[in-house]
Structure 1
Amino acid sequence: MSVKGIGTRSASPRGRAGNAVRTPAGVERPSLAPIEESPSFKHKAYTALKNAIVAMDIYHSRDEIRLDERKLAQDFGISRTPVREAMAQLESEGFVRSVPRRGIYVVRKTRQEVIEMITAWAALESMAARLITQAATDDEIEGLREMFAAFIDGELRAHLDEYSDANIEFHQTIIRLSKNSVLIDLAANLFTHMRMIRRTTIGEKDRADRSIKDHMAIIEALEARDTKRAEQLVRDHALGLADHVAKFADYLD
């Protein structure tokens, strides 16, 4: 695959990949080797491991979850190098931690860390709601309402797992409909952590019933283009989760 744009050398001397190439005008620019289109082993290992961690119920489990690098490489059918690189990336994102002479473990956030994550999320999502009232189409907002059509009229408790998925999709869509690429990027990694705690708490106390009522009120405010109310409702909804964690999530201690 040829690389267009930066690194194109049609009018300049050839250089080996990684070496700078001097153009006739004397301006140096990098000499780039072609990039393979297929995902690397590291990326595949990273994606598989991250998905597996997110799917775990790590907060109700009291046991530490240790990841065996050698075993993972065998399971993937690849060398240990891309697995090690994937682990390093996951550690930088706060999903695993390396303990000297012990190994690599999945991270369980403390109660205070979870509350801080939710508080940061409240700020991002409330701003996204503000932007939705200004930029989203009526059809896009209507799509939010359609997510919950199957859970009205007493069907919520009978399909809690499905509602949990819809709940997560709702919050992802709120961020996406902001159409602010910086906000979306900032929220991406944080939301993966939030996904785990939302899945854990949705069946606790009256969280599910309160959740769907909050969502309907948020959607109504968005449909009315009531910027101030939409922003406030989204922020209060997120901070309600923080309050729930502070009061009831003893398993995080």
Structure 2
Amino acid sequence: MHRKLTSAMEHAKDSRQTNTVPQDGGALDSLGRWREWVVPSPDSQATYLAWLQIREQLEAIGAREAAQHVTARDIAQLRALFRPYSRKGFIAQHELADYAEIDLRFHQQIVRLSGNRALQRLWALFGHEQMQMVKANTIESLDRAQVSLQDHLAIIDALESAEPERCALLCKQHIRALYDHICHELQ
């Protein structure tokens, strides 16, 4: 596969077409060396905010596509993630780290359910697992857990109703609310 890709890229480069192949997770640099794509984890507040803006768009696409073919089983699995919290109606302080992990799994599932492999690869490049500590601290410091829970349940309802545009809008609003909250806290 790598040889075929290299040959195709050399041809494209010689004909000045392109030097990247997004669907294959990397690119040939100007010297013809293969490089994996790497998206660095945010290392500053400004970078984290830019990262959230990108996530807002990616996850809206994922939610829109997921709503078009999500199954009853998928919905049940998403609801099961939040069942411990939705039953009692709140998230206790000592549960925030666990909730942050469930939050990550929810967003991973939405992107996975989209069925869009390019989107899945791009989303994975953003190093969400490495950002878990930041995410847990953000949920705790901004006191967003209850709002986040309600957002997630509304997204699941929209998925269940097979409303692609509503799903996309709710995902955008969910991540935009976090972005706005962080911006407000930084002022």
Q: Does 1:204 align with 2:141?
A: yes
Q: Does 1:146 align with 2:146?
A: no
Helix, strand or coil at the partner of 1:198: helix
Judging by fraction of residues, say which structure has more helix.
2
Q: Does 1:222 align with 2:151?
A: no
Give percent identity, aligned residues only. 30
Q: How big is the shift at 1:226?
A: 1.2
Kept in 1: contact 2:154–2:170 (CA 8 A): yes
- The structure 1 residue matched to 2:104, chosen from 130, 154, 168, is 168
Amino acid at match of 1:141: I
Helix, strand or coil at the partner of 2:155: helix
Distance in 2 between residues matched to 1:209 and 1:125, nearest whole Å: 20
Q: How big is the shift at 1:183?
A: 0.4
Kept in 2: contact 1:111–1:246 (CA 8 A): no
Give the 5 Å matches for 1:174-185: 174-185=110-121
Q: How big is the shift at 1:196?
A: 4.4
Q: How big is the shift at 1:135?
A: 1.8
Structure 1: gaps of 5 or more residues: 8-88, 96-107
Distance in 2 between residues matched to 1:122 and 1:6, nearest whole Å: 33
Show the counterpart of 2:185: 248
> Aligned in 2, Cα 1:6/1:171: closer, same or farther, shift over 3 Å?
closer
Give the 5 Å matches for 1:50-61: none
Show the counterpart of 1:237: 174
Show the counterpart of 1:17: none
Q: How big is the shift at 1:249?
A: 4.7
Amino acid at match of 1:187: W
What are the superposed Cα offsets for residues 69-94 of structure 1, whole Å, 9 maximum, x if unpaired? xxxxxxxxxxxxxxxxxxxx89x542
Poorly superposed stretches of 4+, deviation over 3 Å: 193-197
Show the counterpart of 1:189: 125
Give the 5 Å matches for 1:120-135: 120-135=54-69
> Aligned in 2, Cα 1:135/1:155: closer, same or farther, shift over 3 Å?
same
Helix, strand or coil at the partner of 1:179: coil
Q: How big is the shift at 1:164?
A: 1.5
Q: How big is the shift at 1:148?
A: 0.5
Show the counterpart of 1:113: 47
TM-score (norm 1): 0.55
Q: Which has the higher contact order (CA 8 A, sep 6+)?
A: 2
Kept in 2: contact 1:111–1:245 (CA 8 A): no
TM-score (norm 2): 0.73
What are the superposed Cα offsets for residues 183-240 of structure 1, whole Å, 9 maximum, x if unpaired? 0001102142654432220112330011001011111011001111111000110111
For these two proteins, the number of residue pairs brought into alignment is 153
- The structure 1 residue matched to 2:95, chosen from 159, 162, 185, is 159
Distance in 1 between residues matched to 2:172 and 2:75, nearest whole Å: 18
Compute the RMSD of aligned alpha carbons: 2.6
What are the superposed Cα offsets for residues 29-79 of structure 1, whole Å, 9 maximum, x if unpaired? xxxxxxxxxxxxxxxxxxxxxxxxxxxxxxxxxxxxxxxxxxxxxxxxxxx
> Aligned in 2, Cα 1:6/1:244: closer, same or farther, shift over 3 Å?
closer
Structure 2: gaps of 5 or more residues: 4-35
